[in-house]
Chains A and B, each alone.
Chain A
Amino acid sequence: MLRFSKSKIIFTVGIIVIGLLLAVPSMMSREQRESFQRSLPNWVPSWLIPSRAIVLGLDLQGGSHVLLEVDVPDLMRTQTTQLRDDIRRILRETRVTPQGGIQLTPRGAQIRVPDVADRDRVLPKLRELGQPLGSAILGQGGGRDIEVSVTPEGLIALTYSEGGVNEKVRRAVDQAIEVIRRRIDVTGTTEPSIQRQGADRILVQVPGLQDPQRLKELLGRTAKLEFRLLAQPGAADVDMLPMKEEGGNRVPVERRVIVDGSDLVDAQPAFDSRTNEPIVNFRFNVRGAQRFGQATTEAIGRPLAIVLDNEVISAPTIQSAITGGAGQISGRFTVQQVNDLSVLLRAGALPAKLTIVEERTVGPGLGQDSIEAGKKATYVATIFVVIFMFATYGLFGLFANIALVVHVGLIFGLMSILEATLTLPGIAGIVLTIGTAVDSNVLIYERIREEFKAGRSMVSAIQAGFDRAFATIVDSNSTMAIAAVILFFLGSGPVRGFAVVFILGILTTVLTAVTLTRMMIALWYHWMRPKTLPF
């Protein structure tokens, strides 16, 4: 009855030993791990030696968690402005003049073309502006991103459809992730994590950053650079933009953009050789240099507006044609601002404004304190429970205690191979499972005791105890697991770390409290042939 075959013992012990070995790297510091790796002889294959340590959450190692959201109205403003330029081009090509120009709507643009012949000429061209939605490969007939509607009075409205907006947002998020990665890389931060979250959000996690303010400044700027001309009096198509040098007074700037930041190939911080003022030196690509050269040739003597995120930073007068494709931006910057600006310009502009919707930053000192406190609580809880179990069940308590220590080790081992993140609530989860893991042992032992008192023999009581308690263990752990799984799916960050520990704890408890304990008891019975229970 109470027998454990040799192969079963080897299998159980094997799994436990592997699990515990996987936890070993997490118990060492990074230096210890690396020096251990180096000290290995060459013939040992590297995959054989567990090297992965548990990833610590930002709340334990310190760092910043910033959740950004694409500003959809801002994105659509850019899109509709582009749409207006496209419509204007089509109107020019077809020589149609709409009544009252082109009006922008929140999600598109509209024009009034009362003449039927004109309308027939312009409509097919306008319809071509809409791109088919969905992937070209699948060929989904899911409509177009821009829908064109016409009223009998001749009002033509071009509107981005729901799918069209979603498509634009999706693409903006992809682009933004690339830009953010380039911006953060420059700061030399190790292992930043940048992920899409939901439809319109980006989660940026940067460990061990001392000053999140700089990070936020790098993320919060769109960095859209444009070179335009200050408008002459009476000019049409003019934007009124604030001017930095004149305390934010608005000045008229031509809408036409000569060159923008996408044509930059380099930007470096420097000092002006004459005034010693911090400046940014930049170079254009061939196309940008050509356009810039042409425009400056035509506009000698006029002020050139350097516009960054819809603010005129400076407006130097064009002294001579600039054809070399290089130039400089000045604007009473500090050294830090010049550094940041060149980083932003090199990384490129964000497709739309990003808003910080959530920020959580923990200093490295606090994280270290939390780890120390967590360790202490874990040790104390283990000591409490171990003493109590031994005092109650004697030798069987000792078996349960061995199973308990293995259980905690296995949680660490599993977390290491799954690359799960250990957070502060996760540590709380470990401490809590120390208390609940012995529940399975308690259920079994109490049942064994009951069966023995009812007059069964030792072997039969132990057997019945394990069998009968097992159904209860499954039921009680299942209900716990349901709650933990739901917590995993709805929680984020630290709370999810708690759920992970809890789920793993439930899985390992079956192996340790049931299988391992049973094996120890079977071997003990085999060797000692006891006549009575030790508790």
Chain B
Amino acid sequence: MRLIRLWPDDSRFDFMKFRRFSFPLSALFSVVTVVLLLTVGLNFGIDFKGGTLMELQAKSGQADVGKVRQAADSFGFGEVEVQEFGTAGGISLRFAIQEGGEAAQSAVVQKARDTFGAEYEFQRVETVGPRVSGELVQSGTVGIILAVIAVLFYLWFRFERELAVGAIIGTLHDIVLTLGFFVITRHEFNMTSIAAILTIVGYSLNETVVVFDRTRELMRRYKTMPSVDLLNLSINNTMSRTVMTAVTTALSLLALVLFGGRAIEGFAQVMLYGVVICTYSAICISSPMLIYIGLRGSEATKTVGGKVAPAE
């Protein structure tokens, strides 16, 4: 039986060359993302913005979006987003947060139930008040920052300082570009998105760590090899594994996108994008970054002094 090989054995590809394109490209995308974040902003879901989300299912199997929109607009609860989904008469309604504190929010649900209850089934109702949404924003932000710091310490402990810095730059790059995906596609940003970003943080480091583990090993074996060659060799050696894992992960995510249903496909799409970005950044951002951070600095002092030299 002939088996598949996605990546040729003993490849000697000059990956470091890519940095001439990948660095400016990633810098450009990062800047564009930051600008878009500041000007357009994320499409926050009710988790972070507060408000009410309802998913209705027409009992007849046929939804009248126009009529629902008209009725919802006439409630006087401010801006309403009405969207149709699926093919069997699903409608989602999103009301902005209401003035008048926590209690004012449930008036929206009551009114909608009274109006649409006869013709539609209420499949999902979510109401988040202003205080809870504020707390969720806080815990989401704190979580991502905490994750980056915790991982930085872990890497510092397990690897040389230079490798840790390179890995974190790659991870920050992946977080920024993932946010860019949210801004550009107008994907709703909610608590599940935070879960996706943290998973991407994990995956991104996973990818980088595999390459850097090899770099560290090769650094000890070839003490005089120039950084560029060393990094190229690390990536070439681990490339067949990188491709395999990216493909198996992408395949399972693809299954989620195709069959996971409405509530999950958003998460799966972001993750699928994340897998591509993480694989790219491990090869084209984190590793070549080490050429500039200086790979041999710490290693040289290590072999001479027998222990890690103090910073600088």
Known: A373-B264, A471-B213. A359 touches B106 (CB 8 A): yes
| B26 interface hit (Cβ, 8 Å) | no
| B125 interface hit (Cβ, 8 Å) | yes
B110 close to A213 (CB less than 8 A):
yes
What mask results when residues 396 to 431 of chain A are scored 1 for a CB within 8 Å of chain B, else 0? 000000000000000000000000000011011001
- 14 A–B pairs (Cβ distance < 8 Å), ordered by A: A356-B105, A358-B127, A359-B127, A361-B125, A377-B258, A384-B252, A388-B4, A435-B250, A435-B253, A436-B206, A442-B244, A443-B241, A483-B205, A494-B191
Known: A374-B264, A425-B264, A428-B256. A486 touches B206 (CB 8 A): no
Further 14 A-B residue pairs, CB within 8 A, beyond A428-B268, A479-B206: A356-B102, A358-B132, A380-B255, A381-B252, A388-B251, A425-B195, A427-B260, A431-B252, A435-B252, A482-B202, A483-B205, A487-B199, A491-B194, A495-B194
B260 close to A431 (CB less than 8 A):
yes
Stretch at the interface among A105-113, A336-344, A364-372: A364-372
B249 close to A392 (CB less than 8 A):
no
B-chain residues with CB within 8 Å of residue A442 when the two chains form the complex: 241, 244-245, 248
**Taking the nearest CB of chain B, how far is it from the CB of A103, in angstroms?**
27
| B304 interface hit (Cβ, 8 Å) | no
B210 close to A443 (CB less than 8 A):
yes
B259 close to A366 (CB less than 8 A):
no
What mask results when residues 476 to 487 of chain A are scored 1 for a CB within 8 Å of chain B, else 0? 111111111011
Number of chain A interface residues as a range: 35 or more
A-chain residues with CB within 8 Å of residue B131 when the two chains form the complex: 69, 357
**Taking the nearest CB of chain B, how far is it from the CB of A478, in angstroms?**
6
Number of A-B pairs whose CB atoms are under 8 Å?
238
| B68 interface hit (Cβ, 8 Å) | no
**Bound Cα distance from A431 to B255, whole angstroms:** 8
A-chain residues with CB within 8 Å of residue B5 when the two chains form the complex: 392
A-chain residues with CB within 8 Å of residue B202 when the two chains form the complex: 479-484
For B261, give its contact among A370, A381, A471 (CB under 8 Å): A370
B-chain residues with CB within 8 Å of residue A494 when the two chains form the complex: 191-192
A392 close to B4 (CB less than 8 A):
yes
| B62 interface hit (Cβ, 8 Å) | no
What mask results when residues 435 to 471 of chain A are scored 1 for a CB within 8 Å of chain B, else 0? 1101100110010011001000000000000001001
B248 close to A439 (CB less than 8 A):
yes
A-chain residues with CB within 8 Å of residue B203 when the two chains form the complex: 436, 480
A355 close to B147 (CB less than 8 A):
no
| A516 interface hit (Cβ, 8 Å) | no
B146 close to A486 (CB less than 8 A):
yes
Chain A residue nearest to B167 (CB atoms) is: A479
**Taking the nearest CB of chain A, how far is it from the CB of B100, in angstroms?**
11
| A202 interface hit (Cβ, 8 Å) | no
| B3 interface hit (Cβ, 8 Å) | yes
A424 close to B263 (CB less than 8 A):
yes
| A391 interface hit (Cβ, 8 Å) | yes
A-chain residues with CB within 8 Å of residue B4 when the two chains form the complex: 388, 391-392
Give B residues with C-beta under 8 Å from A.
Answer: 1, 3-6, 9-10, 55, 57, 101-103, 105-106, 109-110, 113, 121-129, 131-132, 139-140, 142-143, 146-147, 150-151, 154-155, 158, 191-192, 194-195, 198-199, 201-203, 205-206, 209-210, 213-214, 217, 237-238, 240-241, 244-245, 247-256, 258-261, 263-264, 267-268, 271
| A351 interface hit (Cβ, 8 Å) | no
Chain B residue nearest to A475 (CB atoms) is: B209
What mask results when residues 376 to 395 of chain A are scored 1 for a CB within 8 Å of chain B, else 0? 11101100110011011110
**Bound Cα distance from A377 to B255, whole angstroms:** 5
For A363, give its contact among B123, B245, B251 (CB under 8 Å): B123
| A360 interface hit (Cβ, 8 Å) | yes
Chain A residue nearest to B206 (CB atoms) is: A476
B-chain residues with CB within 8 Å of residue A453 when the two chains form the complex: 9-10
Give A residues with C-beta under 8 Å from B.
Answer: 59, 67, 69, 212-213, 216, 220, 355-363, 365-366, 369-370, 373-374, 376-378, 380-381, 384-385, 388-389, 391-394, 424-425, 427-428, 431-432, 434-436, 438-439, 442-443, 446, 449-450, 453, 468, 471-472, 475-484, 486-487, 489-492, 494-495, 498-499, 502, 535
For A487, give its contact among B105, B198, B241, B248 (CB under 8 Å): B198
A-chain residues with CB within 8 Å of residue B244 when the two chains form the complex: 392, 442, 446
B102 close to A373 (CB less than 8 A):
no
B102 close to A355 (CB less than 8 A):
yes
**Taking the nearest CB of chain B, how far is it from the CB of A352, in angstroms?**
14
B201 close to A377 (CB less than 8 A):
no
B-chain residues with CB within 8 Å of residue A381 when the two chains form the complex: 251-252, 254-256
A432 close to B150 (CB less than 8 A):
no
A380 close to B247 (CB less than 8 A):
no
Known: A356-B127, A446-B240. A482 touches B154 (CB 8 A): yes
**Bound Cα distance from A218 to B158, whole angstroms:** 55
B252 close to A373 (CB less than 8 A):
no
Chain A residue nearest to B271 (CB atoms) is: A432
**Bound Cα distance from A355 to B122, whole angstroms:** 23
B-chain residues with CB within 8 Å of residue A492 when the two chains form the complex: 191
A-chain residues with CB within 8 Å of residue B240 when the two chains form the complex: 446
A491 close to B195 (CB less than 8 A):
yes
**Bound Cα distance from A59 to B3, whole angstroms:** 42
A-chain residues with CB within 8 Å of residue B267 when the two chains form the complex: 425, 428
Known: A432-B252, A490-B143, A491-B195. A373 touches B213 (CB 8 A): no
B-chain residues with CB within 8 Å of residue A495 when the two chains form the complex: 191-192, 194-195
Chain B residue nearest to A400 (CB atoms) is: B248
**Bound Cα distance from A59 to B264, whole angstroms:** 12
**Bound Cα distance from A377 to B194, whole angstroms:** 22
**Taking the nearest CB of chain B, how far is it from the CB of A34, in angstroms?**
29
